[in-house]
Amino acid sequence: MIKQPRLTLSEFFEKGDQFYIPQLSIDCVIFGFHEGELKVLLLQWKDSKKWCLPGGFVLKQEHIDDAAVRILQNRTGLNNIYLQQFYTFGDPERARKTHGARKPGDVTGKSWLTERFITVGYWALVEFSKVDPTPDDFSLDCKWWDINKVPSLILDHNAILDKALSSLRIHIYDYPVGKDLLPQKFTMPELQTLYETILGKDLDRRNFQKKMLSMGILERLKERKQGGAHKAPYLYRFDSKKYQLAMKQGLKFGI
């Protein structure tokens, strides 16, 4: 992976375009799952105090997928994150000057960052408990938001989030989802709740369990969930090799 240059904030505004591809950016939609809610990781922009998706820029000699991995690692501290490129956003009204991308103390706001940017969207699935949200030089705060309570975001970031969620919902019909969002051990009801939350609809319990088991990617453990009733549900875990194979070859869930 190409090493990212160390620039002060002022240097980044003044000459960042010497290192990064001008007018091309990456915006990342980072999904997590916690207490039955689908979450998205957001940053609060310093100038406007508005919230935004985590993002960054592509170094001139860097593969765009490597740039997305680098950005995700910087935001989450996690390695081996599953990433899916889902759309390119090129509306000419995306000018970054509309949300205060200016050099500190520069009232004119003139910087390479104020030009029109075309952005490539990626979504990622991460385990909520393993992420320690941390703001960067441009942000005041970084935290998880319930997908149904997201505030008004800068630029077209609400539209990017909506497109990412639509892409995830399409993806879930052809590829397994859960290994990056659930703990290592989970119950079938917890897995069903995850699918229902992502899809935004209820699923038949028996039909869901039958189809999930038919995929051959789940291993039922001998232990049951602790702290429940006498007939507490069994715990399951994903078979890593079969899961990865299904991620490459696809499968038809048909829910």
pTM, two decimals, is 0.86
pLDDT at 102: 52
What are 83-101's pLDDT values in tens digits? 899 999 998 877 555 555 5
Nearest 10 degrees: CA dihedral of 173, 32, 53, 59?
Answer: -80
Domain segments of the chain: what residues?
A: 9-171, 186-249
What are 187-205's pLDDT values in tens digits? 999 999 999 999 989 999 9
Q: How many CA atoms lie within 13 A of 39 on its CB side?
A: 19
pLDDT at 54: 93
Q: What is the CATH class of 186-249?
A: mainly alpha
Fold equal for 9-171 and 186-249: no
* Contact call for residues 26 and 73 (beta carbons, < 8 A): no
Residue range 57-73: mean pLDDT, rounded: 93
Identify the sign of the CA torsion 221, 227, 228, 230. positive
Q: Is the pLDDT higher at 223 or at 94?
A: 223
With pLDDT > 90 as the criterion, what percentage of the chain qualifies?
49
Q: Is the pLDDT higher at 92 or at 62?
A: 62
CATH of range 9-171; options 3.30.70.1150, 3.90.79.10, 3.90.1150.10, 3.40.50.300: 3.90.79.10
Local structure of 180: helix, strand or coil: coil
Q: Is the pLDDT higher at 227 or at 3?
A: 3
* Contact call for residues 91 and 156 (beta carbons, < 8 A): yes
Residue range 182-188: mean pLDDT, rounded: 91
pLDDT at 134: 83
pLDDT above 90 for 118: yes
